[in-house]
């Protein structure tokens, strides 16, 4: 099985715990980035499969544009205060038709 690359962006205790837990998997390469510049540099070197970040850092406006640039990257936001995780996943299509938009909406409602 091919290793998946995971970047953890932020400096919270929760992200440190997640990194420690994920590092136990031999199928994951874990990279920690405390600044957005580190995320950009790492992404330029090797596009990660997953970016896990503290939702508090999402207000910077850097996170969501990653879905447009890398639609197959999973973005997982963690919120310590509400004890929840938010998964953002993109899907790219070459031909945008009204039927394709309807299909994507119906697929998201069904799951």
Residue 108 has pLDDT above 60, yes or no: no
CA distance 50 to 98: 30
Give the domain CATH number at 48. Answer: 3.40.50
What burial letters (b/e) apply to 37-66, b meaning 16+ CB within 10 Å?
eebeebbeeeebbbbbbbbebbeeeebeeb
pLDDT, tens digit (0-9, with 9 covering 90-100), for 73-85: 889 988 888 888 8
pLDDT at 33: 92
What is the reported pTM?
A: 0.79
CA distance 12 to 53: 9
How many domains is the chain partitioned into structurally?
1
**Structure-token pair, residue 32:** 């920690």
What residue numbers bound the domain in which 9 lies?
4-110
């Amino acid at each position: 099985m091919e290793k998946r690359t995971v970047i953890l962006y932020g400096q919270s205790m929760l992200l440190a715990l997640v990194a420690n837990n994920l590092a136990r998997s031999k199928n994951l390469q874990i990279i920690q980035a405390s600044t957005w510049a580190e995320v950009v540099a790492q992404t330029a070197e090797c596009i990660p499969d997953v970016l896990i970040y503290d939702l508090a850092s999402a207000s910077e406006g850097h996170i969501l544009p990653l879905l447009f640039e890398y639609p197959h990257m999973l973005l997982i936001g963690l919120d310590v205060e509400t004890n929840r995780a938010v998964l953002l996943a993109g899907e790219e299509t070459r031909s945008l038709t009204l039927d394709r938009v309807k299909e994507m909406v119906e697929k998201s409602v069904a799951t």
